[in-house]
Amino acid sequence: MSEQLCILTVHAHPDDEASKGAGTIARYHAEGIRTVLVCCTGGEEGDILNPAMDRPEVRDNMAEVRRAELERAGEAIGYEQIHMLGYRDSGMPDNDSNFHPDCFAVAPLDEAVDRLVALLRLERPQVVVTYPDEQGSYRHPDHLRVYEITHPAVERAADSAYRPELGEAWSVTKTYYSAWSRARISARHEAFLELGLESPYDEKWFSRPDIDTRITTRVSIEGFTHVRREGLLAHATQIDPESTFWFGLPIEIEEGLHPLDDYCLARGPEIGDPPETDLFAGIRHPQPVHP
């Protein structure tokens, strides 16, 4: 192919890129694939979850602090380029911040879509990763909005007659949803119990819809599982290093549990017998050999 291979991920806030698919990005970066992050908001409404960071100079400058954290996390994960879509964090549902005039949730849909169109045409990714239509009980307005803008942006970016001033038309080959699989949750839950530790996964985690039947692609992140930890810790305001949810298991056990990132193919050529092992399957030849 004459075009450089590129993967572009669309995330709602700084820290989402660390908790979802960080190992995949690290792996593709190591393979020489261009890795691009679009972060839709500045994360201004995020609570400070790390007591060590709960200081006046941090609380008063959340946008600047979280942007610096994002830069550090992006470097740790392997993102070559970070684009900010330019919106304010909308905050959790039923919050006054949902109605801030600059927030993502109330931005005109076409405006937000076209900002993403311009970035798709600029970066020319073959693969886009976004959030799914089914997001369970986590109904954050910004996460829902990420889903709402991605598909129309992919469609418009490919239409040469649509707003040519936004750049030369570009057709994304495949769009995926990131997935937090039941298999991953169960593996971590069982590991806590086997070690005699209290599991952070209560019944609500297992009452959520099981999306495993929708998973089409499992990317091996063996050798890159540590990257998620490094990326999370870079977000010092949002991630408590003492959190049992993120860091309650010994590292050597954590890195051996479900060393895969799971995805659902949302748009693109039909695959053969799932699961695929590569988001670029059918795009590059020969296929890479994953352990």
If DSSP codes are grouped into helix, strand and coil, which group holds residue 38?
strand
Residue 177: both structure tokens together: 């949803």
Strand segments (E) across the chain:
6-11, 34-41, 81-87, 127-130, 174-179, 217-220, 260-267
Residue 31: both structure tokens together: 């393979």
Contact between 37 and 7 (Cβ < 8 Å): no
**CA–CA separation, 196 and 200 (whole Å):** 13
User: Per-residue pLDDT for the chain (291 aa), expressed as one digit of tens each?
Assistant: 447 899 999 999 999 999 999 999 999 999 999 999 999 999 999 999 999 999 999 999 999 999 999 999 999 999 999 999 999 999 988 888 998 999 999 999 999 999 999 999 999 999 999 999 876 556 789 999 999 999 999 999 999 999 999 999 999 999 999 998 999 999 999 999 999 999 999 998 888 878 888 999 999 999 999 999 999 999 999 999 999 999 999 999 999 999 999 999 999 987 777 789 999 999 986 544 444
Contact between 132 and 147 (Cβ < 8 Å): yes
**CA–CA separation, 126 and 47 (whole Å):** 35
pLDDT of 222 reads 96
**CA–CA separation, 187 and 268 (whole Å):** 30
Task: Work out the burial of residue 111: count CB atoms within 10 Å of its CB; fewer than 13 is exposed, 13-18 middle, 19 or more buried.
Answer: exposed
> Euclidean distance between the first and final Cα of the chain, in Å?
25
Query: Residue-wise over 152-168: b if at least 16 C-beta within 10 A, else e?
Result: bbbebbeeeeeeeebbe
pLDDT of 75 reads 98
> Domains of the chain: which residue ranges?
6-180+215-267
pLDDT of 2 reads 47
**CA–CA separation, 100 and 112 (whole Å):** 16
Peptide bond into 275 cis (omega under 30): yes
Contact between 236 and 53 (Cβ < 8 Å): yes
Residue 245: both structure tokens together: 């949810």
Residue 55: both structure tokens together: 């200081």
If DSSP codes are grouped into helix, strand and coil, which group holds residue 276?
strand
pLDDT of 273 reads 74
Confirm or reject CATH 3.40.50.10320 for domain 6-180+215-267, answering yes or no: yes
